[in-house]
Amino acid sequence: MRRIRVRLQPRASKNEIKGWKEDPSSGDQVLICRVTAPPVDGKANKTLIALLAKEFRTPKSRIRIVQGETSRDKVIELPD
């Protein structure tokens, strides 16, 4: 399993992955994602997982939010 850092923007105009950006404080690469769902009752997280599953061609059940369940900054675990 590999872990990636994600910055999520809920309530965007469309679901999309904007690309990678360097975090100035840590120097780590962060994947910028935008989803149309609001951050209520886990809707934005579910939409994010569906978006990542489509992008990385992996089942949604194999993607897990390891850290940041209620934050815009998340750590996601993906299969290799």
**37 CB burial (10 A radius; 0-12, 13-18, 19+):** buried
What's the CA gap between 80 and 78, in Å, rounded? 6
Sign, CA torsion 73/31/10/62: negative
For 27, the domain range is 2-78
What pLDDT score does 80 carry?
86
Residue 43's domain is classified under what CATH number? Answer: 3.30.1200.10
- The pTM for the full model equals 0.93
In a 3-state reduction of DSSP, which class is residue 71?
Answer: coil
Alpha helices in 1-80 (DSSP H): 43-56
- pLDDT (tens digit per residue) in 24-76: 888 899 999 999 999 999 999 999 999 999 999 999 999 999 999 999 999 99
Our count of domains for the chain comes to: 1
